[in-house]
Chains A and B, each alone.
Chain A
Amino acid sequence: MNNSPYFLQPASVQSVMLRVLLALIPGIAVYVWFFGAAILVQIALASVTALLAEAAMLKLRGKPVMMFLADGSALVTAWLIALTFPPIAPWWLTVVGVLAAIVIAKHLYGGLGQNPFNPAMVAFALMIVAYPSLMSQWPAVGFTEFLPQWQAIFGPRQLDAITMATPLDALRTALHTADARATVAGVLGSSASFGNIGGKGWEWVAAGYCVGGIYLLQQRIITWHMPAAFLATLFVISGGFALYDPTRFVGPSFHLFTGGAMLGAFFIVTDPVSGCTTPRGKLIFAAGIGLLTWIIRTFGAYPDGIAFAVLLMNIAAPLIDMNTQPPVFGHKRKAGGRP
């Protein structure tokens, strides 16, 4: 028989995870609208793989399979992988990515709640290092036709017509390669992949994620600290450099509404298990990711920097937590109390 409290709030890991999935739906809907149904195929593929891998690992580790399978955490990882991978990536890329996340990043570290690294970002980082070109083939805006997308995933692949460089990629190659002469304005004007504020189409997907993020905030599943610190850092640093040299550095709105910034801000940076937990720690952690993201995006070799930024900060998280413990009741002021 249990002890007090005898009363528990009706909350569960499952309900938390389901609400996270729910929060992803607006972004996914916009995604489908602009880029076709391929992403749904990828989500389904990732989900099935994740559930099978999760079940197998639980069985191997002698854990109650149904109880943990129902917690929904594997699905969240799967969806995030699908949403960060190119929607027209070959099926095996997604499958291998999901397996890496569930088997290596999650269960080899002890399963739910034990992983020091964000599993979805481990998958992304591994795949982009191993298959940089496959991970860089993104669909062009407007090519929403299902058949070629299906073929891109399951073969035979004929990509030329439907891919194009992502806005981040295009910018970086144009601006920061050896004989870069281009200016931001020139690049932005030259390519069809740039929209009004961010990447064309992507800016609206980002807005969809933002809506989901606000829902998570309202549900108190995430706190404001991480999204705010991440976005603010990205905004300030990109804004600062854009002011300093607008021809070479692209402005903040582009950074915030391109690539995985919004998805990252509300769904990836906020992963509680691998991140910081103290309020001040969360701010430092997310600001660090913002800074590293900007650096990798601007000077690095990969199209988006969020995955590496997250993993780097994951390493630092325990240290940050240790040094940002909030003062406990009665120990806030040295004198011990009187306000």
Chain B
Amino acid sequence: MNSTTMPPLEVDDFTVTLHTPTLSVRPVDGVSYSVQAGEVLAVVGESGSGKTILNMAPLDLLPVGVDAEMKGSVRFEGRDLLNMSTSELEAVRGGGIGVVFQDPLSALNPVRKIGRQLTEGIERHLGLTPTQAENRTAELLTLVGLPDPKSRMQQYPHELSGGQRQRVGIAMGISGEPRVLIADEPTTALDVTVQAQIVELLKDLQKRMGMAIVIITHDFGVVSGLADKVAVMYAGRLSELGSVRDVLIDPAHPYTRGLLQSVPSLTVPMDTKFLGLPGQPPNMAYRIEGCAFAPRCIEARADCHVNRPSLLSVPHSASDRLAACPVIVNQFA
């Protein structure tokens, strides 16, 4: 396989166990998917379902003090991130893989000028001189829709609005010209009109730069507006994976159905409370036998509580689509 056909990101049977002094939890449990070049994958799921850990743990970007044990593989352009040395991983971070964070206020250093926070990464990854990096930064800021970049670069984060800060955050994420951009809820901290602008910006950048994007979101508006594929997570596991068309219009997994029913309209941002779903997600500190969603599922059979369902291909879908629910997949057939 050569690098033009190899998917830039391949996640294979990836499992994360977090160890704290008192207990261990498994927020990511046997997850597999891949993202093609230029493809946008949205990862959705309730709060606490493991979306952030899934994407940040392989890059070693979890908060300090979180001890993550990882199994399986997460390959970036064929190389397993989990086996990389610290310096190899540092070369990938900000270079091949860019990251955009949820809260642009806390993600930016409050006492450093914006220009410097951008140029340092550009100098590091693109091998530019300080002057070239400054010019490149000015271009980037213009690209993400911040006019008058030279004076912006002299400002501190608190001197910008929330939307402007997130534009800076996005400029930072793409500054190393990454092939994969990981964006963890980039619009959640912003108000609704600004959210739409940021989605437009990401869409535009994705087209221009042709990079793959993995976007974590609670917002089905973002999913339908930006993504090609959706991965639905529940309790650390993938419950459904397929094209946006298939999953949003004709969801297969009972969890996805519940999730979509709880959204009044596809364009309205969804709250983290899922009104349409009775019950609570399981506690991931305990080993879950059978299907993690079974206790809340209206379709559940006795078997569901015992055997863990694997991802099965859903028949009659517009494109490849997988769902971890044998009951429904049999109904589709």
Partners in one complex: no
